[in-house]
Amino acid sequence: GENVEQHPSTLSVQEGDSAVIKCTYSDSASNYFPWYKQELGKGPQLIIDIRSNVGEKKDQRIAVTLNKTAKHFSLHITETQPEDSAVYFCAAKGDSSYKLIFGSGTRLLVRP
Amino acid sequence: DAGVTQSPTHLIKTRGQHVTLRCSPISGHKSVSWYQQVLGQGPQFIFQYYEKEERGRGNFPDRFSARQFPNYSSELNVNALLLGDSALYLCASSLNANILSYEQYFGPGTRLTVT
């Protein structure tokens, strides 16, 4: 069935360093890949997304890359700041589907 | 601009009881989806509604039901509550149910505890 695997489950970086979170999806029909940031006690916040006709997308300090052949997509955060500390979720969605399939989440800690 | 709103924020129920959770989408958005997020996991899709019709359903038992009103707000109902229903229930709003309308925006959620 549809599945999204996410790694690592936890990630600790020094402020100013980069962080990379990786996801793999199983459904080859998936064509939309959003990333969400969830802070404690809040709902997931859409931070960036990419569609299958694009290989890379960047928005200030965050970027997402997509490798359709390998069914991999990754989130890159540069110049990390303490306020980047949160749980990050990747997700995938296919054209014929109404639902997002989420990964299990990555808890990112940025140490001051 | 108000985002997605959900009520109540927290709820404590006893096994076997019934619960109703409410969601108002972003102004102008016509589609609402419901997700269940168990502690430490990613959200799991329950339902999507558009124009008062169910457009998609996840792998949840019939104890879970929902509806959408003419103003596009939505209710999620869960009957015969089980301990395992304890979770954060998230509502997501999107512009419409067109499969080309991808972006979903989440509300703060309702934390349900079943004792």
Looking at CA atoms only, how far is residue A44 from chain B in angstroms?
Answer: 6
Under 8 Å between Cβ of B52 and B35: no
Ranking A22-36, A75-89, B33-47, B96-110 by mean pLDDT, the lowest is B96-110
| Interchain contact, B48 vs A97, CB within 8 Å | no
Which band of pLDDT confidence, cut at 50, 70 and 90, is reported for residue A97?
A: confident
* Cβ density class B71-91: b for 16+ within 10 Å, e for less: ebebbbebeebeeebbbbbbb
In a mutagenesis test of the A interface, which of B10, B38, B41, B45 is the best target, namely the one with the most A β-carbons within 10 Å? B45
Q: Is there a contact between A100 and B90 if contact means CB atoms under 8 Å apart?
A: no
Give the bridge partners for B83, in sequence order: none
> What average pLDDT does the segment B61-78 reach?
96
Would you place residue B67 in the very low, low, confident or very high pLDDT band (cuts 50, 70, 90)? very high
